[in-house]
Structure 1
Amino acid sequence: MNPTHLLGPVLVLGSGLLGASIGLGLRAHGIDVVVSDPSPSAQAVAIDIGAGRAFDVSEDLAPELVVVAAPPDVSAAVVAGALKTYPDAVVVDIASVKVAIATELETILGADSELLARYVGTHPMAGRERSGPVAARGELFNSMPWVLCASESSSKHAVKVAHSLAIDMNAVVFRFSPEEHDSAVALVSHLPQVMSSLVASRLAETPAHALSLAGNGLRDVTRIAASDPTLWVQILGANAPRLLEIVQGVRTDLDRLITTLSAPTAPGARLDLAQLMAEGNAGQSRIPGKHGGPAQQYTWLTVLVDDKPGQIAKLLTEIGAIGVNVEDLRLDHSAGLQVGMVELSVLPAKRVGLVEDLTERGWKVIL
């Protein structure tokens, strides 16, 4: 069992995907976790999967830490209640917006309240397309960003405990102000969700034969459109001012594109289209790659595999035997054949040798 930074007990208020995953992760370290949820069935499932023990109202519980894993629209009220109920505990929330919660909390408690010294807003940036405790995983936060958004009122002790939670979850800790956090996630999280949903909405009445041509491009763009609408209503509403500014910029670009496409052969139209795509290239290249490194340090190749059990495992085993590390992997399928297409990302210096070795071993590599 690995050493931990938290001592426990830890009270987790909310047993959804994130709350239950935190419970599983802490329990794996041997920390006493108590789970409480307004939904008896959700709480029961979380306990059944091992995320913690049931909250007992008759117990004189004195938690080291209270983790508020509640929806954004009720997080401030739950945090305030926890600060009042457990006078020695540090309280954190894990909601995906921070300014709105901090502002509401100050309204509830008073901006000068001493209780605020024990509160730290946090945001573990991890999740799954599935929700609820049945989808929980103790490893959900491994190597994922966990943002600490301490306010001027947060004590050093509270920040240390919040930091300890993230470290015990094997996350990578970042420190932002609440304002910096909300501006950042508006761009890197909330805008992609909105754009994905808008693109996916165009597919609702598309003929099935047209969708049969869809490949990884469409799947990649629309993957997160399957997210929970109820949760996103709360997130987008709470961060609306910051998201609105970005969306207005997107509207300007769309208006520019519409104008160009309205006269695609006009002088300068093709140049404008090329510039628009190049601007996208420039932005995409700034997204960090593996381990936070530059995104463009790897190259891709595609290997055809038979669409039957064991083929991908065999391919990866042979690549390992060749001595090449796969940096990333994507899988697609041929529309009309029982063939899979495995796209592999490797270091550029390894690409030529890997292609030669795989070809010699009978694999069909597409360059």
Structure 2
Amino acid sequence: MKIGIVGIGLIGASLGWDFRQMGHHVIGVSRQHSTCTTAEREEICDRASCNLASLQDTEIIFICTPIAAIIPTIEQLIPHLHPDTIITDAGSVKEAIVDRSTELWANFVGGHPMAGNSQSGIAAFEKRLFADRPYVLTPTSKTSPIALERVAELVRSLNSILYYATPEQHDLAVAWISHLPIMVSASLISACLHEADPTILDFAKKFASTGFRDTSRVGGGNPEMGMMMAEYNREAILRSLYQYRDRLDTVIGSIETQAWTEIKDLLSTNQSVRNDFLDSKDV
């Protein structure tokens, strides 16, 4: 199969390498000539260029750009494509993307490979990044069943755990387990930086170990990506933030009133249910 990838960063490059190992012909497009050179040298793509017209003969195109660039990329691709070409994306927000993309292109399938790390760019790509990781497809009543199944076949070939959800369901769920943690993590770091005593702040930095590292990791990622999550999934993120704030207020109240049993109960519940969210994933 001839597969196109627009955006040869962490996700796009990892997809390209995996697909090439399966025998697919991969054509990549990036804004940077240096990225194209690296993609060919590292055997991520058979060919790579800065020209979207190079994708005119592809059967399926994965758009792995930042969220804000997905719709403009589809608009720029349209003049070059055969009507049967399938377009899918890798954005972490779906409702805003799927609605408009389906209007633009009948063979569009919303997708979200839920794998990665805190790094970005082609240098961060990983082989078999998507194996045993969730990959969500978000069809609507307007989605072509044939296009959906062809994308699903490729997802299965990555050994990903395939899920189907509506765009709205996806965005509400991802707000809890991805977007909210980023905002909470960033707020943690910001709160620490507002410590008024410089000596205490200096000690905090020196004492920080695995607990702080794990809790702050996602808040220290790509700022542009985090901003776009907040912008494009605004309502769902606000919904989760409001509920999280309510829980924080409850914890504050318990500590203020010295209700230590309530704190223990909260921590006990968390201890017992945490693995329900992680399942077979790394803990």
TM-score after normalising by structure 1: 0.69
> Counterparts of 2:54 and 2:227 in 1: how far apart (Å)?
36
> Counterparts of 2:52 and 2:73 in 1: how far apart (Å)?
16
The aligned counterpart of 1:145 is 134
Contact 1:82 1:91 in 2 (8 A): no
Check if 1:270 corresponds to 2:260: yes
> Counterparts of 1:225 and 1:135 in 2: how far apart (Å)?
18
Picking from 273, 290, 299, the partner of 2:280 is 290
Percent identity of paired positions between Structure 1 and Structure 2: 27
Task: Give the CA deviation at 1:119.
Answer: 0.7
Task: Give the CA deviation at 1:57.
Answer: 7.1
Task: Give the CA deviation at 1:58.
Answer: 7.5
Cα offsets for 1:132-172 (capped at 9, x unmatched)? 01111231111111111112111121011111221222211
Check if 1:239 corresponds to 2:219: no
Contact 2:254 2:263 in 1 (8 A): yes
Picking from 138, 149, 154, the partner of 1:160 is 149
- Aligned to 1:67, the other structure's residue is in SS state strand
- Aligned to 1:261, the other structure's residue is in SS state helix
- Structure with greater Cα Rg: 1
Cα offsets for 1:100-119 (capped at 9, x unmatched)? 1123335x63xxxxx32x11
Q: Tell me: higher relative CO, structure 1 or 2? Use CA pairs within 8 A at least 6 residues apart.
A: 2
- Aligned to 2:91, the other structure's residue is in SS state coil
The aligned counterpart of 2:62 is 67
- Aligned to 2:110, the other structure's residue is in SS state strand
Cα offsets for 1:215-247 (capped at 9, x unmatched)? 322222112222101111001211110111111
Check if 1:215 corresponds to 2:219: no
The aligned counterpart of 1:307 is none
> Counterparts of 2:217 and 2:162 in 1: how far apart (Å)?
26
- Aligned to 1:26, the other structure's residue is in SS state helix
> Counterparts of 2:158 and 2:66 in 1: how far apart (Å)?
21
Picking from 15, 18, 24, the partner of 2:8 is 15
Contact 2:67 2:92 in 1 (8 A): yes
- AA aligned to 2:226 is W
Instruction: Call closer, same or farther: CA 1:57–1:258 in 2, change over 3 Å.
Output: closer
Contact 2:4 2:55 in 1 (8 A): no
The aligned counterpart of 1:259 is 253
Task: Give the CA deviation at 1:76.
Answer: 1.9
* Unaligned 5+ runs, structure 2: none
Aligned residues: 275
Contact 1:163 1:173 in 2 (8 A): yes
> Counterparts of 1:222 and 1:60 in 2: how far apart (Å)?
39
Cα RMSD (Å) of the superposition? Answer: 2.3
Aligned positions of 1:70-81 closer than 5 A = 70-81=65-76
* Unaligned 5+ runs, structure 1: 1-7, 110-114, 292-327, 330-367
Task: Give the CA deviation at 1:60.
Answer: 8.3
The aligned counterpart of 1:82 is 77
Cα offsets for 1:229-281 (capped at 9, x unmatched)? 111100121111011111111111222222333343xxxx2333333334433
Contact 1:72 1:234 in 2 (8 A): yes
Aligned positions of 1:86-235 closer than 5 A = 86=81, 87-105=83-101, 109=104, 115-116=105-106, 118-204=107-193, 207-235=201-229
Contact 1:16 1:132 in 2 (8 A): yes
TM-score after normalising by structure 2: 0.88
- AA aligned to 2:57 is A
> Counterparts of 1:61 and 1:122 in 2: how far apart (Å)?
21
Instruction: Call closer, same or farther: CA 1:59–1:79 in 2, change over 3 Å.
Output: closer
- Aligned to 2:62, the other structure's residue is in SS state strand
> Counterparts of 1:199 and 1:63 in 2: how far apart (Å)?
45
Contact 1:62 1:88 in 2 (8 A): no
> Counterparts of 1:290 and 1:142 in 2: how far apart (Å)?
12
- AA aligned to 2:34 is S
Contact 1:77 1:105 in 2 (8 A): no
